[in-house]
Amino acid sequence: MGWRVGRGDLIKVGCNNWIPDVGRNRLSTIITNLNDCKVADLINQNNRTWKEELIFSTFPEDVAEKIIGIPLAKDPHEDFRNIEDDPRAYALQEGYKEFYRKLWQLNLPLKIKITIWKISWNFLATRVNLFQKKLINTTVCPRCGVGSESMNHLFRECPESKSVWKELPCNVLIHEQQMEFAEWLTEVFVKNSESQCKMFCCSLWAIWGDRNNRVHNKVSKSGKEISRFVSSYIQELDGIGKSKVESYKSTSKWKKPPDQIVKINFDAAYDEKSKESAAGIVARNNESKVLLSCSMIYKHVASPFAAETLASRKAIKTGKEMKWRKIIIEGDSLSIIKKCRSNIPVKSKVCTYISDIHKLQSSFQECRFEHVPRAINSLAHMIAKATLRDKRILYLVEGVPEYAEDQSGRDRRGESD
């Protein structure tokens, strides 16, 4: 079993294979009094260097040279098994691929998926993790008061968590204690259906939430209460999912503006490699007639966020140039729309563009910004993508380019894609 050294707290000096080209058998014949010592004991944790004097006085010179040649990251990470040396670890990595594929496809709120992702990378602020960062002086589990609150203890070993798993109808392999935490996490996904994986993820999220409530608010739920909450939450999610499908068909259509108001849709396309972006603009009246379609290419654009901001500025500048008095500007970037609506000064990297937009708003009798889903913004999106791809800007009065005519017709007829 090969190991890569991170913090060194999981690797036993005399029992694990962690030194390049030095097998465990040879190591055990060299040293007999370090079997219970951890590799972390050989590392200066304050500056992340090897304790060379201790190492050269403990190991033969050739072995000591190999040890101090092992690189140490300045920011300590968890020890992990070397995939090249360990077929089981390779299988675990393959299991992780399937785990992440399945996780991101689950119909769950992003906050839950991100929590599960953090769990898989040991990124939660458990007491063991906080202790290792020297932020607290205890590792004792705040729920049961017995074990050290590692990820494994929090979700598998703690009696409080076990009481949750007993109440739920998913196979969480709670008795497979020989499995390491990462193996357990991926194996549960393999053994369960999609609906059971949803329940598993919601349960992990609920357990972590209950733990935080206990720590910060001094309140907690029983295992039965948590399991009832999880079941109820999933039923609610499933109900929302069904209603979303039905409502999406009726709402994912472009709507014409009120009389005497021009609606301007904008979108951006961005090329990370060249740092170029394109803005696509379409302006229509209350009869759904296209008044103008145009585009612009920008160079040295720092991010997709900046690209969207430039496109929104292009939209409002177009309205001013055409001398329209009342306009609605629609885009599918919620963060940009919020910044355009807000009167609070923006301090982000796009503050200059947002400031321009706020100043331009005073040019109109009426000017408001509205957020729409991408499906409703398809025409502007299509123009932005084509402009960036072809490196050719356009300016068409009372029309759209040929490639966008079908989409323009669908919008006019009120059809969804």
Q: How far apart are CA 349 and CA 331, in angstroms?
A: 20
Q: Which long-range contacts (CB under 8 A, 24 or more apart) does 1-4 make?
A: 1/81, 1/85, 1/86, 2/81, 2/82, 2/84, 2/85, 2/86, 3/79, 3/80, 3/81, 3/82, 4/79, 4/80, 4/81, 4/82
pLDDT of residue 86: 45
More confident call, 7 vs 327: 327
Is residue 365, in this structure, part of any structural domain at all?
A: yes
82: left (phi over 0), alpha (psi -120 to 50) or beta: beta
Is residue 254, in this structure, part of any structural domain at all?
A: no
Concatenated DSSP letters of 333-351: -HHHHHHHH--SPP-STTH
pLDDT of residue 276: 93
354, HSE (Cβ side, Cα atoms, 13 Å): 19
Is residue 194, in this structure, part of any structural domain at all?
A: yes
Least confident stretch, 191-195, 330-334, 376-380: 191-195
Is residue 28, in this structure, part of any structural domain at all?
A: yes
Overall average pLDDT of the 26-48 stretch: 76
More confident call, 2 vs 385: 385
Residues 314, 232 share a domain: no
Residues 242, 284 share a domain: no
Residues 309, 179 share a domain: no
pLDDT band at 307 (very low <50, low <70, confident <90, very high): very high
User: Exposure pattern of 218-228 as b/e (b: 16+ CB <10 Å)?
Assistant: eebbebeebbe
Overall average pLDDT of the 66-80 stretch: 77
Provide CB contacts within 8 A for 396, sequence distance 6+.
Answer: 292, 293, 294
In tens, the pLDDT along 260-301 reads 999 999 999 999 888 899 999 999 999 999 999 999 999 988
Residue 85 has pLDDT above 60, yes or no: no
Among residues 36, 61, 81, which one ends one of the domains?
81
Residues 129, 211 share a domain: yes
Residues 132, 182 share a domain: yes
pLDDT band at 416 (very low <50, low <70, confident <90, very high): low
Q: How far apart are CA 332 and CA 268, in angstroms?
A: 10
| Longest alpha-carbon distance in the chain | 90
In tens, the pLDDT along 140-169 reads 999 999 899 999 999 999 999 999 998 887
What's 171's DSSP letter?
A: -
Residues 318, 175 share a domain: no
Least confident stretch, 141-150, 177-186, 325-334: 177-186
pLDDT of residue 242: 53
Least confident stretch, 21-30, 220-229, 372-381: 21-30
More confident call, 397 vs 74: 397
pLDDT of residue 208: 96
| Secondary structure E strands in 308-410 | 326-331, 366-371, 395-397
Residue 83 has pLDDT above 70, yes or no: no
What range defines the domain where residue 126 resides?
92-249
Residues 154, 234 share a domain: yes
Token duo for residue 299: 């160079």
Residue 127 has pLDDT above 80, yes or no: yes
More confident call, 251 vs 273: 273
Count, in order, helices (H) and strands (E) of the chain. Answer: 16, 10
pLDDT of residue 235: 87
Least confident stretch, 70-74, 124-128, 406-410: 70-74
Is residue 86, in this structure, part of any structural domain at all?
A: no
Among residues 216, 249, 282, which one ends one of the domains?
249
User: Exposure pattern of 6-22 as b/e (b: 16+ CB <10 Å)?
Assistant: bbbbbbebbebbbbeeb
% of the chain with per-residue pLDDT over 90: 47
Token duo for residue 208: 């972590």
Among residues 192, 227, 249, which one ends one of the domains?
249
Neighbours of 178 (CB within 10 A): 7
Residues 241, 142 share a domain: yes
In tens, the pLDDT along 331-351 reads 998 889 988 998 776 556 667
Is residue 280, in this structure, part of any structural domain at all?
A: yes
Residues 52, 118 share a domain: no
Residues 138, 59 share a domain: no
Least confident stretch, 96-100, 104-108, 245-249: 245-249
Residue 220 has pLDDT above 90, yes or no: no
CATH number at residue 348: 3.30.420.10
pLDDT of residue 87: 43
Residues 96, 76 share a domain: no
pLDDT of residue 323: 96
Residue 23 has pLDDT above 50, yes or no: yes
Overall average pLDDT of the 376-404 stretch: 95
Q: Could you give the dihedral angle defined by the CA atoms of residues 394, 398, 402 and 408, in that order, rounded to the nearest 10 degrees?
A: 110
Residue 412 has pLDDT above 90, yes or no: no
pLDDT of residue 30: 60
Q: How far apart are CA 94 and CA 99, in angstroms?
A: 9
Least confident stretch, 2-6, 253-257, 306-310, 402-406: 2-6
Number of domains forming the structure of the chain: 3
Is residue 66, in this structure, part of any structural domain at all?
A: yes
Neighbours of 2 (CB within 10 A): 17
The answer, as to whether pTM is greater than 0.75, is no
Least confident stretch, 23-27, 47-51, 135-139: 23-27
H or E element at residue 114: helix 110-120
Residues 284, 147 share a domain: no
- DSSP-derived pairing of the beta strands 3-4 and 366-371: unpaired
Mean pLDDT of the chain: 85
pLDDT of residue 334: 87
Token duo for residue 177: 């204690």
Is residue 87, in this structure, part of any structural domain at all?
A: no
Residue at token pair 């055990």: 28
